[in-house]
Chain A
Amino acid sequence: MSGKAHEPEFACLTRRDLLKAGVALGGGLVLGFHLPFPGAAEGSAGKEAVFAPNAFLRIGSDGTVTMVIGKSEMGQGVYTSLPMILAEELMCDWKKVRVQSAPVDPAYNHTLFGAQVTGGSTSVRTEWERLSKAGATAREMLVAAAAREWKVDPKGCRAENGRVTGSGGKSLPYGKLAAKAAKLPVPKDAPLKSPGKPVLLGKRVPRLDTPAKVAGTAVFGIDVRLPGMRTALVARPPVFGGRVARLDAAKAKAVPGVKDVVQVPSGVAVIATDFWSAKKGREALEVAWEDGEGMTLSTAGLRERYAALAATMGMVARKEGDVEAALTKAAKRLSAVYEVPYLAHAPMEPENCVVDLRADRCEIWTGTQMQTGDRDAAARVAGLNKEQVTLHTPFLGGGFGRRGNPAADFVAETVHVAKAAGGAGPVRVVWTREDDIKGGFYRPMWYSKVDAGLDAEGALSAWRHTIVGQSILAGTPFGAGIGKDGIDGTSVEGAKDLPYAVPNLLVDLHSPKVPVPVLWWRSVGHSHTAFVVECFLDEAARAAGKDPVAFRLPLMSGHPRSKGALELAARKAGWGTPPPKGRGRGIAVAESFGSFVAQVAEVEAQADGRIRVCRVVCAIDCGKIVNPDTIEAQMESGIVFGLTAALHGQITFARGRVEQGNFDDYPLLRLDETPEIEVHIVESGEKPGGVGEPGVPPVAPAVANALFDASGIRLRTLPMTPEALISARKRA
């Protein structure tokens, strides 16, 4: 395969462009609709789109099909999987497909969240029906246009590979039919293709964005350059909630290239001609900070506070039977504490945003997972109507939840800087890596106290799980996700709905208020609950003298898809046969985001305390499949992401200050630590599940369980560092 054949273009389409062209996004048709592609993609300007049956599709007279995608491409492959869904029904020529990122418009709102959002591993799941219908509608109109042209019954015509074919060898390409189709009424219920023989779905279709990303031409937010654009770095308080007490900007202003120093709610912005001048200017700032309420915060203190809370009864998330009685009666009782730290998302592209603020409008370029919220926040800060704010979404250099912030932190801040700079032209704010690591919005720190009881036969009779950690949803527009019982579902997901039947079960939650901003981090609550549930279940199996797979299976009859994934992973990993010499094997399974993933890890506990993960075998049941290569890539990705958390990641506090700052003290997994990874996909006709996040949860427990198998040492706190293993060995 050559990479040359098909190099799609990517562009930002703005709402203004659409309005200029008079497109009714809800479904009107426009003749001679013209797409100006502002700035980004050369070569596509002036191409005529003559058929725009809905917000998602534009077909040009040259047969080019432009798919307008409202989801953000952050590596998960939506700029390929969503076009595949559209193209499957449209029956267009895949080589003629182009992708544009959508403007902010209700037409692209998440079908469940009511705003333009990319997250929760929901894109394929929630867009499948809407995009299939959009494709089918356009196809039916193209077929009707051909039938009308030939004066035949449309039933005798069929669409295939970008052409409509009729009887007697009649055939017309979509490009020739587009203008005629545009004059036809939009059918209400265009039939979907029979699912029998998909052209694209289920196939290893190469990603549309690969060539641009390999060429180095893909435009990320940080690559956006506007004429006269200034670059700002913001000095932020070292303690969350802190404020500027005293500022002397004279030395900073004397740095060549520095144009201005302005105060904004989040700190002090140094505005310069370029990044390096702004950075030197920021270093020259003399700021005294007044520490906020977080000034006494320490990780050790927080752990003590959480431990004390865990000793009391929290809000009840789930209750079955009588757990206390069952624990008292148990033939064998186990208790343990599991802890995981705060974690930064650390996307490779640090946070950044470009704002061009004028008196009557504001134009924004930023890699975001939350267009509507960011747009609305920008409007509030700028004092403009939402309609006066345009937001473009370039490629995201990783998201993992960090770029989907209800607080709109990096967007609102940039608008504040632009506003304070007062008509100085376009401004971008770039975060350094230290700004990112120290900047908050972490995966919360979690403390779990677990108790289990085994009856005389070694069966699991009781399970109690007390969870302590900050609510992510509290205080956000997603606060409705907190139930009447006060429980943030994302705090207990995976714990209250664990895939095992236990007759006596209690899951309770404490959601303490802590002055550390928290946020969803790839796989959200499952990133801690799977670690606790799957490790503690392993402990229970060992205590019962049973094999961890054999112990699980009889408890999983209510969760057949998890069970299927577990069995597949075990079989592919050679479970039951001895692992290679020196290695231990561990298994874990988790249901998350509509998918079911099991992983088997093989690890070595090295003499120097390092845990070498040699192999991970992964099985996923994500229902109907769009692109198996994307699923495999996301499982590999989730495993590597999860291994960073298992082995390396922790954000800690001393005197209210974050103790980490860059990849030296917040290390990410490197290639030489990466295991061999095998991915097996369960054949399934079930409704589609997510794939962006579900690969993460099982890996940490699989590794911890494998470590126990290899060494007899149980590490219950993440990350599993060499120091932790060495000190556990000393205690053993």
Chain B
Amino acid sequence: MIPLTINGKTYRVDVSPDTPLLWVLRDHLGISGTKFGCGAGLCGACTVHVDGRAEFSCQLPAGDARGKKIVTIEGIPHDHPVKQAWIIEEVPQCGYCQPGQILRAAALLAEHPSPTDLQIDEGMSPSLCRCGAYPRIRKAVRRAAGERGGRK
């Protein structure tokens, strides 16, 4: 049994410790906002917060997630500036990558409350969007930063 702290709640899961956190969330706990895109840490669809940092949950074995604070899209409040900015800027198209994008943006803004354009570009680039919502992701990150008392 591996104890995992997800969105403030503790779960005990009976999985082999090499099972990636992504599949623990999706298949064992039914927390399915976190998406499978590549299984190789290349696309960012599976991004979650691990102790406040954006991490690929497809690359994190459940055994290594023990004792860490995990936050998924379900754990980001509706009134979070990033979610609100995503709604106002109408970011999602198919929407599949967006939970990962939102978590990455939230982690980026926690580290850089007023990010430069370069920091946004570099910070958000690990997350792929096949629909090409990138221009709106840029705008939404800027908007979310502004609402946190950033430069805009």
Contact = CB atoms under 8 A, between A and B. Distances in A.
A213 B134 contact: no
A225 B38 CA distance: 20
B97 to A, nearest CB: 5
Contacts of A395: 94-96
Given A216-B72, A663-B42, A670-B125, A211 B87 contact: yes
Contact of A400 (B72, B126, B130, B134): B130
Nearest to A695: B132
A222 B16 contact: no
A674 B42 CA distance: 18
Contact of B137 (A231, A671, A676): A671
Given A210-B87, A218-B95, A433 B39 contact: yes
Given A398-B94, A636-B132, A348 B138 contact: no
B19 interface: yes
A433 B26 contact: no
Interface in B1-42: 15-16, 19-20, 23, 26-28, 30, 32-40, 42
A74 interface: yes
A485 interface: no
B102 interface: yes
Contact of B35 (A207, A209, A397): A397
B36 A207 contact: no
Contacts of B83: 3, 214-215
Interface residues of B, number: 59
B98 interface: yes
A609 interface: no
Interface in A200-258: 206-207, 209-218, 220, 222-223, 225, 231, 256
A346 B130 contact: yes
B132 A275 contact: no
Interface string B124-152: 11111111111111100000000000000
A275 B35 CA distance: 13
A4 interface: yes
A276 interface: yes
A662 B122 CA distance: 21
A350 B84 CA distance: 28
Contacts of A672: 121-122, 124-125
B9 to A, nearest CB: 16
Contacts of A663: 38, 40, 42-43, 128
A494 B129 CA distance: 28
Nearest to A665: B42
Given A274-B28, A670-B128, A214 B94 contact: no
B94 A216 contact: no
Contacts, number: 183
Given A216-B33, A395-B94, A433 B131 contact: no
A348 B90 contact: no
A3 B87 contact: yes
Nearest to B26: A275
A433 B94 contact: no
A152 B86 CA distance: 48
Given A3-B78, A349-B94, A637-B93, A662 B42 contact: yes
B73 interface: yes
A639 B39 contact: no
Given A1-B88, A276-B20, A75 B94 contact: yes
B95 A633 contact: no
Contacts of A676: 135
B99 interface: yes
A275 B23 contact: yes
Contacts of B88: 1, 3
Main secondary structure of the interface of A (DSSP, over half): loop
B45 interface: yes
Given A397-B35, A637-B131, A349 B78 contact: no
A75 B131 contact: yes
B135 A674 contact: yes
A639 B73 CA distance: 28
A698 to B, nearest CB: 15
Given A223-B32, A348-B35, A348-B129, A640 B87 contact: no
Contacts of A220: 35, 96
Contacts of A209: 92, 95
A674 B134 contact: yes
A1 B84 CA distance: 9
Contacts of A109: none
A222 B35 contact: yes
Nearest to A639: B132
Contacts of B43: 348, 433, 663, 668
Contacts of B28: 274
Interface string A340-357: 000000111110000000
A398 B130 contact: yes
A671 B102 contact: no
A214 B130 contact: no
A350 B36 contact: yes
A536 interface: no
A648 to B, nearest CB: 11
A629 interface: yes
A214 B92 contact: yes
Contacts of A216: 33-34, 72-74, 98-99, 102
Given A670-B128, A671-B134, A349 B102 contact: no
B104 to A, nearest CB: 10
Interface string A373-398: 00000000000000000000001111
B7 to A, nearest CB: 11
Given A348-B96, A400-B130, A629 B90 contact: yes
Contacts of A211: 87
A432 interface: yes
A400 B36 CA distance: 18
Contact of B94 (A4, A74, A432, A664): A74
A214 B63 CA distance: 29
A84 to B, nearest CB: 14
A521 interface: no
Given A637-B132, A672-B121, A276 B94 contact: no
B136 to A, nearest CB: 7
A284 interface: no
Contacts of B19: 276
Given A637-B132, A664-B40, A214 B93 contact: no
Contacts of A637: 93, 131-133
A222 B15 CA distance: 21
Contact of A3 (B35, B72, B73, B84): B84
Nearest to B80: A214
A366 interface: no
24 contacts: A74-B94, A211-B87, A215-B33, A216-B74, A216-B98, A216-B99, A216-B102, A222-B36, A223-B32, A275-B23, A275-B36, A276-B16, A346-B130, A348-B94, A430-B36, A433-B42, A640-B131, A640-B132, A662-B42, A668-B128, A668-B130, A671-B127, A671-B134, A674-B135
Going nearest first, the 7 A-B pairs with the smallest beta carbon separation are: A640-B132, A216-B33, A213-B95, A397-B96, A75-B94, A216-B73, A75-B93
Given A225-B30, A662-B42, 4 more contacts: A215-B73, A348-B128, A640-B129, A671-B121
